Structure 1
């Protein structure tokens, strides 16, 4: 069994990752178990750079196998923004959502295409690194809908369901989301290397 430290303080992400990584091969520990960890500045220019930096630095500090993700919302009309700055586009989920909706005000539905991107990096103390990238395509709604999830979930409309991530609930969201797909691929890698 591998003990893996999830390198995030985002409680929504922790819950989502724990739900997806639920496997007998994996024991999850969180940053709450290490209250004196340094704050990692996400100053990379890509999702991969940010995820790798978080995983590597936390792994070096704790001596643990460390998993980190960096993800973001890329809106076509906004030329890929907010992208790697998704979590820093405001001080709260509500503020970030309102910023997106204001920027897309009066933009028709056919020009509101977007995708979520997630890069997951697993770093071992001995230097081994595994990386996975996944996406989930959709569009941006005209107003928030739904009560589940976190972040931009209430305004991300999923094709085929005609509902936002926040309306779908965790079980369905985790099956189809960018993070869900990336984490399942990482579980397969973990199973292969655990043999």
Structure 2
């Protein structure tokens, strides 16, 4: 199954490839332990760049699902006959900000802002907010759309809290500020394998695989 990621973000392509490989390895191990033949799922994840680039999309629907669906639909006309468009829309929802920045996470500091500016703005906005009000969760919605119009959509979440200051160089976006539940270190500090297993994107991918298996 050929999946083309409706994004110009090379990091997302790499992360989804790693997540898919890890989940396939886990599935194969579980099958062997259960006495059944290993049956990893055959996915190829490619960047929209191999189709000529991701068409411009205005993410103005106001929801993760709406934005992901809009991106997937924009890529469908470029798909090969056996291809599927996989779109991701994700963001960080902060309790003290009534769920913000949410769908505006990529533009929190302005339409031209980069991830460093977005992170710094969140640090400043949250300055002085006590620990008990620093709850937050990441959201990822995946939409898988085929050229024939068949659609799958799933949602994954990762809950935790915000540190007082960014710590660590790993991950990207708000990761140096986000401490996942059950840990004392940020995603910026934790090993990639830990983040891969606990992230909102991993949760969404697992949910997608479950839907496809049915």
TM range (shorter): over 0.9
SS of 1:189's partner is helix
| Residue correspondence of structure 1 range 27-176 to structure 2 within 5 A | 27-63=44-80, 64-90=83-109, 91-176=113-198
Unaligned runs of 5+ in 2: 25-40
Counterpart CA distance in 2 for 1:18 and 1:28 is 6
Counterpart CA distance in 1 for 2:46 and 2:10 is 13
Q: Point out the structure with the larger strand share.
A: 1
Aligned to 1:4: 3
Aligned length: 191
Counterpart CA distance in 1 for 2:193 and 2:210 is 19
Structure 2-normalised TM-score?
A: 0.84
What is the CA distance between 1:14 and its match in structure 2? 1.5
Give the stretch that moved more between structures: 38-47 or 23-32: 23-32
Deviating runs (4+, > 6 A) in structure 1?
none
CA deviation map 1:52-110 (0-9, x unaligned):
11112201233431101101101011111100000111311111111111111111111
CA deviation map 1:125-176 (0-9, x unaligned):
1111001111111111111111111110000011211111111122111111
What is the CA distance between 1:49 and its match in structure 2? 0.2
Aligned to 2:202: 180
SS of 1:81's partner is coil
Q: Which has the larger radius of gyration?
A: 2
